Amino acid sequence: MSENFDAVDVIITKRGKGELSDGQIDWVIDAYTRGAVADEQMSSLAMAILLNGMNRREISRWTGAMIKSGERMDFSSLSRPTADKHSTGGVGDKITLPLAPLVAACGVAVPQLSGRGLGHTGGTLDKLESIPGWRANMSNEQMMQQLEDVGAVICAAGDGLAPADKKLYALRDVTGTVEAIPLIASSIMSKKIAEGTGALVLDVKVGSGAFMKNVEDARELARTMVDLGTDAGVKTVAMLTNMQVPLGLTAGNAIEVRESVEVLAGGGPEDVIELTLALAREMLACAGRGDVDPADALKDGRAMDAWKAMIRAQGGDPDATLPVAKESHDVLAPADGVLTELDALKVGVAAWRLGAGRARKEDPVQAGAGVVMHYKPGATVRAGEKLLTLHTDTPERFERALESLEGSFTIAPGGSRPDLLPLVIEKIS
């Protein structure tokens, strides 16, 4: 077929800090998806976008073109409203696991399309696959049925949603253009808008263990995504949340599932409970159910019932024993004092090196591998006490994991207090 535009002209426009027209954007996304624009041309355009940015109209049109490259799901036939959550990823971020059944127990359906881990950030699907029998892949029909019957589904996104994003995401990974905020925002939002949810709450992480290291960049990304959702008619809010320190006391797969179940049973670490409830309240409010208090559903067992129903519906056994790693190694406190720092990135890299994560998409993960934290910043510790316990099936991995933990924590004399951001930093709506 003859092409309406020329890839080189589109690249030169953005290279010269010009605005791309609606026609140029629609064409370049479609032509790239069809293979009429080559990878090297698209990587050149991605670099120009990274360096020169895009305005709100351009990003909105770019996102719309990515959505049009595939199918759109529609949940309007369900008997209850829908709300979804997206996290930009972090260390120990198991929030989706207790959150989806909690919101479902409060009368709002949660169609949670999730991903796998790459590098130091964990993947929700990897965590759930440590439950015997649980399966991530579902047809759209199965997903609809489960949303009607159970109210929550956590599964892999099908190939039909925003195929342009899948292609562009892989390209950004190998061309040094991952950090381009217009491309991050359109990648996340094209999938979430195509998924068809009525409301969306974005958990944008900030800190060493997050993609965004400082509040200013996180705020720009959050604002861009909220604008995209709003322009597409999806009620969207974002919360900037703290990822200086890992969430909860575990970073891994099965060990994070175990911690999530503790939260659903009415226990678990305070920060995981706090963030789960904060996000649940936002999701319920966006879906028009702000009158319901999710804390009640945690207390009375409804959230746990929804969790068990959700796991069973996807072939899993919620009562099965979770895998445990064959080997463990303790990291001990070198002195008495107050733990003032525990670096999320270093803990995440250690968990990854122990086998909980992958360096490439096709790598397998170990269900039992990861890091258990015995204390969080602010705690008083004694010399010789366990600070961290490392778990893996392959003990030769301990050495590299311990290397990544060098300088990961600080113990200060008694009376010191850690200088930490609050867990929820700010809300953008």
Q: Which of 68, 93, 114 is the last residue of a domain?
A: 68
Strand 199-206 relative to strand 84-87, pairing: parallel
Long-range contacts, 309-313 (Cβ 8 Å, 24+):
309/101, 309/149, 309/150, 310/100, 310/101, 310/104, 310/146, 310/150, 310/152, 310/153, 310/154, 311/128, 311/131, 311/134, 313/146, 313/149, 313/150, 313/153
Q: Which of 187, 190, 260, 408 is catalytic?
A: 187
The answer to whether 64 touches 163, Cβ cutoff 8 Å, is no
Same domain, 183 and 296: yes
Q: Locate 1 and state its tokens.
A: 């077929």
429 is annotated as an active-site residue: no
Q: How far apart are CA 368 and CA 385, in angstroms?
A: 23
57 is annotated as an active-site residue: no
CATH of the domain at 42: 1.20.970.10
CATH of the domain at 211: 3.40.1030.10
Q: Which of 68, 99, 118 is the last residue of a domain?
A: 68
Assigned domain for 260 exists: yes
At 170 the pLDDT is 83
The answer to whether 375 touches 332, Cβ cutoff 8 Å, is no
Percent of the chain that is helix, strand, coil (3-state, to 5):
45, 15, 40
Same domain, 46 and 147: no
Same domain, 342 and 379: yes
111 class by beta-carbon count within 10 Å (0-12 exposed, 13-18 middle, 19+ buried): buried
The answer to whether 317 touches 138, Cβ cutoff 8 Å, is no
Q: How far apart are CA 308 and CA 324, in angstroms?
A: 21
Same domain, 93 and 64: no
Q: How far apart are CA 168 and CA 191, in angstroms?
A: 13
Q: Which of 165, 227, 271, 343 is catalytic?
A: 165
Name the residue range of residue 364's domain.
Answer: 327-412
Question: For residue 93, how many other CB atoms are within 10 A of its CB?
Answer: 30
Tell how many helices (H) and how many strands (E) occur in the chain: 16, 13
Query: Which of 196, 288, 194, 286 has the alpha carbon at shortest distance from 238?
Result: 286
Q: Which of 14, 61, 85, 86 is catalytic?
A: 86
Assigned domain for 422 exists: no
Same domain, 217 and 257: yes
Q: Which helix (H) or strand (E) holds 409?
A: strand 409-412
Same domain, 289 and 357: no
397 is annotated as an active-site residue: no
Q: Which of 286, 313, 340 is the last residue of a domain?
A: 313
400 is annotated as an active-site residue: no
Assigned domain for 135 exists: yes
417 is annotated as an active-site residue: no
Assigned domain for 284 exists: yes
Same domain, 103 and 214: yes
Helix (H, G, I), strand (E, B) or coil at 258: helix
Same domain, 344 and 385: yes
Same domain, 259 and 336: no
pLDDT (tens, 9 = 90+) of the chain, 429 residues, equals: 668 899 999 999 999 999 999 999 999 999 999 999 999 999 999 999 999 999 999 999 999 999 999 999 999 999 999 999 999 989 999 999 999 999 999 999 999 998 887 667 778 999 999 999 999 999 999 999 999 999 999 999 888 889 999 899 888 888 889 889 999 999 999 999 999 999 999 999 999 999 899 999 999 999 999 999 999 999 999 999 999 999 999 999 999 999 999 999 999 999 999 999 999 999 999 999 999 999 999 999 999 999 999 999 999 999 999 999 999 999 999 999 999 999 999 999 999 999 998 877 778 899 999 999 999 999 999 999 999 999 999 999 999 999 999 999 999 987 778 878 899 999 999
CATH of the domain at 388: 3.90.1170.30
Same domain, 183 and 249: yes
Q: Which of 172, 235, 353, 397 is catalytic?
A: 172
**How many CA atoms within 13 Å lie on the side-chain side of 356?**
37
Assigned domain for 321 exists: no
Assigned domain for 320 exists: no
DSSP 398: H
The answer to whether 252 touches 351, Cβ cutoff 8 Å, is yes
Q: Write the CA distances from 263 to 204, 309, 397, integer angstroms.
A: 22, 17, 30
Assigned domain for 421 exists: no
Query: Which of 303, 292, 291, 293 has the alpha carbon at shortest distance from 266?
Result: 303
Q: Which of 120, 191, 219, 391 is catalytic?
A: 191
Q: How many domains does the chain have?
A: 3
Q: How far apart are CA 341 and CA 358, in angstroms?
A: 26
Same domain, 293 and 350: no
115 class by beta-carbon count within 10 Å (0-12 exposed, 13-18 middle, 19+ buried): middle
Assigned domain for 196 exists: yes
- Which one-letter amino acid corresponds to residue 128? L
At 2 the pLDDT is 67
Same domain, 11 and 146: no
